[in-house]
A and B are shown apart, each in its own frame.
Chain A
């Protein structure tokens, strides 16, 4: 390389080099260097000359623009070009595809509406496993209150799989215009009915005072919880939404055991009653039977409540007064169709994500490029040295 500055040659060396050049060009030479001049001329005379036929052939090829050579290996050349062009495009194309894909994925444009507060799509319908209750006791189902809604059909459970009982709950805070709070509450009740649920309690305060709002305590079949939440979320702008799942399998153990014990005791008492001889003995057994029946009723009631907690999820809906723009006009992305505003939001999201992905890509590419630029001269030097080793072979 030329980074190191070499010292200038001494005057004698400079003079002798000048004499060599002069001799080669036919100029007069310093008398002190006549032998060098003769050597230069003698060396010049040793110059290898090309054969005339080779020179003629090469002249022709040059005149034709090496067309002969081009015809002799057209396939190789075209294949080389064909192979080189896609590679030139492949890297930028891959980088662009990476940036676009990263941007699209991270922007969330493929999500529903692109708004994190919008209702979640019914994709993750991991409906709660509403398990069929084991046969805890005769007459159990008949003892269910007539007012209770029918239990949802139990989902299919893989044979042998351990049945877990999960209690689910959700809270939803909606923002609706003051003049639409009552209407929104009514719509929420209709949604609950449509999904086979029921309203445990409701409280609606309308008007212009600060107390305006609604609170609904709903029960929705657990297997339809996600869809019901999605429908409820479309009623107004969603300010908050939470979901909670709790395993209550263990809570079933104690009432089941008490029920089984009481049933066994009742069967034994009934057998004793059949064998009783005296009125006094009969009265004692009947009293014990009544106590056993009460225990059976209590255990069954407790199991029923547990099953209802599994079968129905508690949904607490709070409706708060909010701005009109946060209503159900769809611009907030919480409901309605995909509007121009939503599209603009999505587009901005994509652009932000693209900018981020580009920044990340640059964070990798710029240092890599700097390193490559720094290593390039060393690489060239290494190549040159490697080539020049051929001289020593």
Chain B
């Protein structure tokens, strides 16, 4: 999943990066947007932006995946801002469908608890969880995407996980 496709300058094999990251990017964006169709639009937009800017990728500034997720994050945040301007209603409409089409087969107390705990997190914490557990980024890549240090990311991730664990126990 973490296949590196950058060589010297620019993303030399964009298709490989796409294949390894498509579902991860979608999962992350869907968590941010909480709207399946908006997530699809933003995901497509992110890949198109990345494709057009692929020559500007600098390997020294992070992995191609971190670069791609930075673009996806900006696209998602821009869309959220745009929606907040045009839609004054709350920006977090519940979209259970985004959580997976096969809910019926795997429903259980544990999963419901996890889902509820996830919803109880702050948006920034939920983003962190999405990048880590849905997109599969390493802590170094997380730091690159979020513009902070790896240590800070670890601390925040640890805090979010404990909140999740506590929320799960409370639900259980």
Give the B-binding residues of A (Cβ under 8 A): 1-2, 4-9, 13-14, 16-17, 20-21, 24, 35-36, 39-40, 42-51, 54-55, 58-59, 61-63, 65-66, 69, 384, 387-393
Cross-chain contact B48 with A69 (CB below 8 angstroms): yes
| Chain B residue at minimal CB-CB distance from A77 | B52
Find A7's partner among B40, B111, B151 (CB 8 Å cutoff): B151
The CA-CA distance from A388 to B32 in the complex, in Å, is 11
Cross-chain contact B39 with A39 (CB below 8 angstroms): no
If A39-B161, A46-B111, A54-B40 touch, whether A17 touches B51 (CB-CB below 8 Å) is no
Cross-chain contact B27 with A20 (CB below 8 angstroms): no
Find A388's partner among B77, B132, B154 (CB 8 Å cutoff): B77
If A43-B164, A50-B22, A62-B14 touch, whether A390 touches B81 (CB-CB below 8 Å) is yes
Residues of B contacting A55 with CB < 8 Å?
22-23, 26
21 interchain pairs, CB-CB under 8 A: A2-B147, A6-B149, A24-B133, A46-B100, A46-B115, A47-B100, A47-B134, A48-B98, A48-B100, A48-B134, A51-B36, A58-B22, A58-B43, A58-B44, A62-B14, A62-B47, A65-B51, A390-B80, A390-B81, A391-B123, A393-B80
Give the most central of A61, A65, A69, A390: most B CB within 10 Å: A390
Give the most central of A14, A39, A387: most B CB within 10 Å: A39
Cross-chain contact A43 with B78 (CB below 8 angstroms): no
Q: Which positions 49-99 of chain B face chain A at CB distance < 8 Å?
A: 51-52, 74, 77-78, 80-81, 84, 91, 98-99
Cross-chain contact B154 with A9 (CB below 8 angstroms): yes
Q: How far, in Å, is A389 (CB) from chain B's closest CB?
A: 8
Residues of A contacting B99 with CB < 8 Å?
46, 48
If A24-B136, A393-B84 touch, whether A9 touches B114 (CB-CB below 8 Å) is no
Residues of A contacting B138 with CB < 8 Å?
21
Residues of A contacting B74 with CB < 8 Å?
387
Residues of B contacting A61 with CB < 8 Å?
44, 47-48
Residues of B contacting A42 with CB < 8 Å?
110-111, 114
| Chain B residue at minimal CB-CB distance from A8 | B151
The CA-CA distance from A14 to B153 in the complex, in Å, is 12
Mark B98-140 against chain A: 1 for CB-CB distance below 8 A, else 0: 1111000010001100110010000110010100111010110
Q: Is the contact region of chain B dominated by helix, strand, or loop, or is it mixed?
A: helix
B148 contacts chain A at the CB level, 8 A cutoff: yes
| Chain A residue at minimal CB-CB distance from B127 | A391
B12 contacts chain A at the CB level, 8 A cutoff: no
Q: How many residues of B contact A (CB 8 A)?
A: 60
Residues of A contacting B80 with CB < 8 Å?
390-391, 393
If A387-B77, A387-B81, A392-B123 touch, whether A51 touches B40 (CB-CB below 8 Å) is yes
Residues of B contacting A4 with CB < 8 Å?
149
B171 contacts chain A at the CB level, 8 A cutoff: no
Q: How far, in Å, is A355 (CB) from chain B's closest CB?
A: 37
Known: A2-B143, A6-B155. 10 other contacts (CB 8 A): A2-B149, A9-B154, A17-B154, A20-B161, A24-B133, A39-B165, A43-B129, A47-B100, A54-B26, A54-B40
Cross-chain contact A46 with B118 (CB below 8 angstroms): yes
Cross-chain contact B43 with A13 (CB below 8 angstroms): no
Cross-chain contact A39 with B77 (CB below 8 angstroms): no
B5 contacts chain A at the CB level, 8 A cutoff: no
If A1-B147, A13-B158 touch, whether A47 touches B40 (CB-CB below 8 Å) is no
Residues of A contacting B40 with CB < 8 Å?
50-51, 54
Residues of A contacting B81 with CB < 8 Å?
387, 389-390, 393
Cross-chain contact A36 with B111 (CB below 8 angstroms): no
The CA-CA distance from A40 to B160 in the complex, in Å, is 12
| Chain A residue at minimal CB-CB distance from B14 | A62
| Chain A residue at minimal CB-CB distance from B26 | A50
